Structure 1
């Protein structure tokens, strides 16, 4: 780990060339810009992005490129989601060999598992992990809501670094802090409730929106960390409109990519079967970003 793994972690999109191959140059150029804006970490190959559409060779090329670009300026977390504990473990080992600082895993997708069974699968993958692990609680995608007591059952692995919380339960960040104590960090994982999570004591924010709006997202976190809640609320009132437009759109990855491309940061299309955002949503978001830039 290059420094304490807290703060804003931006989630990259995967830029593609016209022939469908990864555009590594566009990726690393954006990493540079995001880090220059003050963002403290990168979380790539996320669970709801294009990671599942990439080959093993593409995954490796992406991670190695980000590691080389970021150096010791930021921590790198790599999504290692899979259906079985054995597959998760293999992904974590790969992430370690590619230079990652930590791994992120979720309960098995579409497993229909009860929380206790999901926690047992995660425990099996984590117990011998060579990297610290972030557990992503995403009931919408996995069908399993890991409550604080289920996550507490993973502490004895010695590898539970953090929880990325996106259940949307109003007091969940506070409940996690109370159950897990100071040895496990809790990150807000849903952009639309970032400020609420900070108020409840979150250690940071895994933010898809920070790939598009890194300076503003970092500023919001900085205000909260410094206890300047008046400034945080003022910025939130300006920023939350753009965050909502991104997060509420099922084609949010395409929306971020198209917005960046319109701002001369070429991203290419999303890789099917991910949906493409419509032009109306794109124009609305660009209008909101333009107004945000004028006000800040």
Structure 2
């Protein structure tokens, strides 16, 4: 791929068969539909893809499926999330060998590390990476909030491509853009505040919701990127309702999967210990999607 890695990256779920295996045929079929919307790329094996529930062989099979299905038509970013820097690096090497274009790492989770310790852990990973690196700032899941100054200290590694920013802080995208300049891309990672992030200068959007609603998410980005803010706000009034229901539910992965299955794109369940969304939450989301589709053509 030669086009810039800006814009919308849809985050795939991992479909399962009735026997609990990955349903790679279903994954490949949905990739075709999502790519038709014009998204910049896919970010596979993120939290939405239940990456931590997959074994090494399952990871390999999924990455190869994504790369093969995309076939050079979009960028493929692969989550390489692990507790130790050595395991992150091993996953990066594997992803590079299987055809990924870039990778994403998080701070080591569970330990609740101070930011300086996280930067010390990530620095050798970025320095040695064969691929461009997105750093995922997700303090709610990792226990560490990487502020703009912390992230700026990684820019000299030469592999720091971008930040996926999911702290939810209202002004953080603007602060990151101011501190990191144009050398590092900044992506909105919290779907419920996507439009606010675009208004603050985000390079694009890493969106779990774009796996479910790719056409509408892509349209929102294109409107904002072209400066058509009136139409972007109008679309956001309906799209934001659906996205807020997804992001506000602790069982959001199950909710996305159930909504896709409801539309004939069978996803199967989530793997334990992830929770299953209740019927009331699914009904509310389907109602919001129906309203979105009545009010806006994709």
- List structure 1 runs of 4+ shifted beyond 2 angstroms: none
Contact 2:48 2:208 in 1 (8 A): no
Q: Following TM superposition, by how much is the alpha carbon of 1:287 offset from its aligned partner in structure 2, in angstroms?
A: 1.0
Contact 1:47 1:81 in 2 (8 A): no
How far apart in 2 are the matches of 1:2 and 1:71? 14
Q: Name the structure 1 match of 2:46.
A: 46
Map 1:59-98; keep pairs closer than 5 Å.
59-98=59-98
Contact 1:8 1:39 in 2 (8 A): yes
Map 1:167-178; keep pairs closer than 5 Å.
167-178=167-178
The count of corresponding residues between Structure 1 and Structure 2 is 296
Q: Name the structure 1 match of 2:184.
A: 184
Distance change >3 Å, CA 8–CA 270, structure 1 → 2: same
Q: Following TM superposition, by how much is the alpha carbon of 1:3 offset from its aligned partner in structure 2, in angstroms?
A: 2.0
1:128 aligns with 2:128: yes
Q: Following TM superposition, by how much is the alpha carbon of 1:217 offset from its aligned partner in structure 2, in angstroms?
A: 0.2
Distance change >3 Å, CA 160–CA 144, structure 1 → 2: same
How far apart in 2 are the matches of 1:276 and 1:48? 13
1:279 aligns with 2:284: no
The TM-score normalised by the length of structure 1 is 0.99
SS for the counterpart of 2:167 is: coil
Q: Following TM superposition, by how much is the alpha carbon of 1:32 offset from its aligned partner in structure 2, in angstroms?
A: 0.3
Contact 1:2 1:73 in 2 (8 A): no
Map 1:109-188; keep pairs closer than 5 Å.
109-188=109-188
Q: Following TM superposition, by how much is the alpha carbon of 1:220 offset from its aligned partner in structure 2, in angstroms?
A: 0.2
SS for the counterpart of 2:136 is: strand
Q: Name the structure 1 match of 2:236.
A: 236
How far apart in 1 are the matches of 2:283 and 2:167? 29
Residues 164-209 of structure 1, C-alpha deviation per residue, up to 9 Å, x if partnerless? 0011111111111111111100000000110000000000000000
Q: Tell me, which stretches of 5 or more residues in structure 1 are unaligned?
A: none
Q: Name the structure 1 match of 2:247.
A: 247
Q: Name the structure 1 match of 2:222.
A: 222
Q: Tell me, which stretches of 5 or more residues in structure 2 are unaligned?
A: none
How far apart in 1 are the matches of 2:107 and 2:47? 11
How far apart in 1 are the matches of 2:67 and 2:85? 25
Q: Following TM superposition, by how much is the alpha carbon of 1:47 offset from its aligned partner in structure 2, in angstroms?
A: 3.3
Distance change >3 Å, CA 48–CA 118, structure 1 → 2: farther
Distance change >3 Å, CA 198–CA 211, structure 1 → 2: same
Contact 2:92 2:131 in 1 (8 A): yes
SS for the counterpart of 1:9 is: strand
Contact 1:188 1:194 in 2 (8 A): yes
Q: CA RMSD in A?
A: 0.8
How far apart in 2 are the matches of 1:246 and 1:47? 14
The TM-score normalised by the length of structure 2 is 0.98
How far apart in 1 are the matches of 2:128 and 2:70? 27
